[in-house]
Amino acid sequence: MDHSKFRVYSLFLVMFVFLAACNSPIPAAPETSSEGANPIAAVENPAAATEAPAEALEATEAAPPAIQHTDIPVGLPEKQSGQATDFNSSKIIETKTNIGGDRFSFEKFERPFNANTMDVYYSEIDIVNTLVYQDDIWIYGIITLNQLQGNGVENVKYAIELDINLDGKGDWLIIASKPASTEWTVDGVQIYKDANQDVGGEQPMLSDNIQFTSDGFETNIFDQGQGDDADSAWVRISPNDPNTIEFALKQTVLESPKKYLINMWAGTNLIDPAFFDISDKFTHEQAGAADSGLNIFYPIKEVAEIDNSCRMAVGFQPTGKEPGLCTTFSPIINDPLAPSGGSSTGCVVKSCNSSYVWNDSSCSCDYIGPK
């Protein structure tokens, strides 16, 4: 064969093989097991890869541990440590008589009514009696209302205020929402402290001449089981009286006071730790008056839907000069001088000066203003 023709033929053969190879399909990559797969190549949706760990974490996240209680109050002690009755306002609308015990300037409130018209009465915030008991662990505050299941006013709260320095300035305020059962609970219970001692202003339990700037009970140390002591304060409806609220307060949480002044509160929006003392947060004109005899300020206005009791002295013999102190009285027992020296309710009438009037229901002098 001619060598030149052979070379040409060989060249065409090589080119044919090369072109055939270029046009052949690319073989598929061999399948691999999931263990050896590339994790990025194995995910069709990259966004799902970032979301999956968060969902898994949320599903496996442990629930917060339940509050463990170790000190739970049982029943009240047999011996009471104090008692203070309070004016019953249930007949005021019906009889159109004057309300006893309401004196804004003296931080005394008897206002279980709506504002301005005072034509709606709220029995569940009308305090009629208060009691104090105590044992080695607890201070018990008892509030009896005229009728606890009243006409359904919203946001009802009850409170206890303690003055452990005996200077008229409240040191502790314990607030509870209206309880639902006779079982002790910490639900809805809070404890506040006035750490900077500005409650009461310059004249504790008296309205200051100017509105005093105070942040009230500014420090919250217990909130429904949250705090240094999960058993700090409890509340329930009395198992013996459906119209009575019972508080149990841990003595150690309140600095274990040996002596103190204590009073009770019932109300709605004004039972707020930032509003104390209420008589320093409002002027008399803003607050109004519940007693129609004070016609300059009557009726109640911004200070409405609230009631409080006078202060009881516990653990000491009061001098009578303690701010907010309940007036003491001596019962008359087989006293032949009762008709001239006593009242129809059986308490010795103390002389009242011209700015006060005798109140038979509470055996005390009620302030009516200068004459």
pLDDT tens digits, one per residue of 85-120: 999 999 888 887 788 889 999 999 999 999 999 999
Q: What is the pLDDT of residue 342?
A: 43
**CA-to-CA distance for 240 and 138, rounded, in angstroms?**
19
For the segment 287-338, what is each residue's pLDDT rounded down to a tens digit? 999 998 899 999 999 999 999 999 999 999 998 889 999 875 433 333 333 3
207 and 341 co-located in one domain? no
Let me know if residue 14 belongs to a domain: no
**Number of Cβ atoms within 10 Å of the Cβ of 229:** 15
Does 50 score more than 60 pLDDT? no
Residue 48 lies in a domain: no
Given 280, 305, 321, which residue is the final one in a domain? Answer: 321
Do residues 265 and 297 share a domain? yes
Q: Are residues 286 and 369 in the same domain?
A: no
- End position of a domain, from candidates 306, 321, 336: 321
* Domain membership flag for residue 356: yes
- In this structure, the answer to whether residues 355 and 296 fall within a common structural domain is no
Tell me: do 196 and 226 sit in the same domain: yes
Question: Using 50, 70 and 90 to split pLDDT, how confident is the model at 153?
Answer: confident
DSSP-assigned letter for residue 346? S
Residue 225 sits in the same domain as residue 368: no
306 and 365 inside one domain: no
Does residue 274 fall inside a structural domain? yes
Residue 31 falls inside a structural domain: no
Residue from 177, 144, 136, 116 nearest 305 by CA: 116
User: Closest Cα to residue 194, out of 220, 225, 226?
Assistant: 220
Length of the chain: 371
What range does the domain containing 206 cover? 80-321
Least Cα distance to 168 among 143, 189, 197, 141 occurs for: 197
Q: Does 145 lie in the same domain as 229?
A: yes
Same-domain status, 366 and 238: no
pLDDT value of position 352: 52
In a domain, 55, yes or no: no
CA 189 to chain CA mean position, Å: 6
Residues in CB range of 203: below 8 A, 6 or more apart: none
Number of domains observed in the structure of the chain = 2
132 and 201 co-located in one domain: yes
Looking up tokens 């008709």, which residue turns up?
339
Query: Residues of 338-366 as b/e, b for ≥16 C-beta within 10 angstroms?
Result: eeeebbeeebbbeeeeeebeebeebbbbb
With 70 as the cut, is the pLDDT of residue 354 above it? Answer: no
pLDDT over 70 (residue 284): yes
How far is Cα 147 from Cα 122, in angstroms, rounded to an integer? 9
What 3-state class would DSSP assign to 63?
Answer: coil
Q: How far apart are CA 265 and CA 344, in angstroms?
A: 28
| Residue 370 sits in the same domain as residue 267 | no
Do 171 and 263 lie in one domain? The reply is: yes
